[in-house]
Amino acid sequence: MTSNTLAKGILKAVGVLVAIVLVLYFLWLVQSVIVYLAVSLILTLIGMPIVKFLKNKCKFRNIFAVLTTLLVFVGFIFGFIMMFVPLVASQGHNLSLLNTAAIEQNVIQLIDQASNWLESHNIDSAKLLKESNMTSKINFNFIPNFLNMVLGTISSFGVGLASVLFITFFFLKDRQMFTNIIRVSLPETHKEKILNSLDKIDYLLSRYFIGLLVQLLIIFVLYLVVLLIFGVENALIIAFLCAVLNIIPYVGPLIGSILAAVLTMLSNLGSDFQSEILPTTIYVLFGFWIVQLIDNNLTGPLIFSNSVNSHPLEIFLVILAAGFFFGILGMVIAVPMYTILKVIAKEFFPDNKIVQLLTRKI
């Protein structure tokens, strides 16, 4: 190998690295646009069955079917806003979220009540709790900062929502045009396989996201029933927050249960700890556990196994592996990414025995 060849190889490697860095920097600069595109793509996958239904069954023209679908999305979004903003304001007032000293006093009062109950049952953990002086080590000043962040997010929500709806409109309206562009730009050798993969991915992911919405709706209703049975204040907002957390497999329900327990105790603050706060919290946690039992063994596996044509054990192992390697984000995107990989593998490696086994239902 001559010095000239070696120098060219080094320059080429440096050029590739510089190009990769520039691409990553560019993606970082336009990360908001990428998020808008991703959300718009998800809404498109959810909205396509609605558009097809309106066109095929109701005989809508394409433009009117798309506009009607977007109106459905907007109606749901503003319905949630109108429903939950007053409840959030009420919950914030009840918990004195804007008053750092007040919420600190509430938590200290709750811990003291728990300590007194434990002492009445001769449990030394109460003394350890007091000796550790845990409440003095908790910095409650994070609450106003958190609220400021939330308010900032809400203020920018309008721009993001308008951008997402605008992009979604053209994704739905001109879907055939985008398909034609992709068809023309693909190499002839793999065009058919790629187009078949895109069609199957579109179909399966549409079913997956619709199934996810159905699952969250079922969990929301069951959580709401549990909270209403035990008379928890602001049951609607608590049920909604806990249901949304179920998007994170396995970890989300645990966080939701803890959140429900804390809000239940704080909503009953002032009542007797032994006869009111503790039993109500235990009943709520037990109800949430029953809901999760139903979801993990019935609704979840049934919805997702049918939507992406995968075995429930297969989905469990994929989510577990994704969480181990990529954390919470990996758990959230595990099923759609695995579905995409299965479809691609089936098209490009149809003779592989493992691929045949995993994709026999696709």
Amino acid at 272: D
pLDDT at 206: 80
Q: Is the pLDDT of residue 98 over 50?
A: no
Structure-token pair, residue 2: 């001559």
pLDDT tens, 210-225? 888 888 888 999 999 9
Specify the pLDDT at position 137. Answer: 47
pLDDT at 125 (0 to 100): 52
251 found inside a domain: yes
pLDDT of 159: 63
Under DSSP, is residue 350 helix (H, G, I), strand (E, B) or coil?
coil
Task: Decide: helix, strand or coil at residue 269.
Answer: strand
Structural tokens at position 136: 């003095």
Identify the pLDDT of residue 134: 46
In a domain, 352, yes or no: yes
Task: Count the helices and strands in the chain (H runs, E runs).
Answer: 15, 0
> Does 292 fall in a domain?
yes
- Given this model, what pLDDT does residue 18 score? 86
Average pLDDT over residues 146-153: 51
User: Does 160 fall in a domain?
Assistant: no
Cα separation, 74 vs 153, whole angstroms: 18
Token pair belonging to 22: 């520039």
Q: Is residue 180 part of a domain?
A: no
The torsion angles phi and psi of 95, rounded to 5 degrees, stand at -90, 0
CB-CB contact of 11 with 168 (8 Å): no
CA–CA separation, 278 vs 120, rounded Å?
14
* Domain presence at residue 47: no
Its domain, for residue 328, covers 199-362
Domain membership of residue 129 (yes or no) is no
Query: Number of folded domains in the chain?
Result: 1
pLDDT given for residue 124 in this prediction: 56
pLDDT in the model for residue 143? 46
Q: Is the pLDDT of residue 135 over 70?
A: no
pLDDT in tens, 6-28: 777 778 888 888 888 888 888 78
String of b and e for 76-115 (b: at least 16 CB within 10 Å)? eeeeeeeebeebeeebeeebbbeeeeebbebbeebbebbb
Within a domain: residue 348? yes
- Residue 272: per-residue pLDDT: 65
pLDDT tens digits, residue range 254-302? 888 888 887 787 766 666 666 677 788 888 889 998 988 888 777 777 7
Say what the pLDDT of residue 95 is: 45
pLDDT reported for residue 101: 52
Task: Yes or no: say if 288 and 256 are a contact pair by the CB < 8 Å rule.
Answer: yes
Residue 243: predicted pLDDT: 87
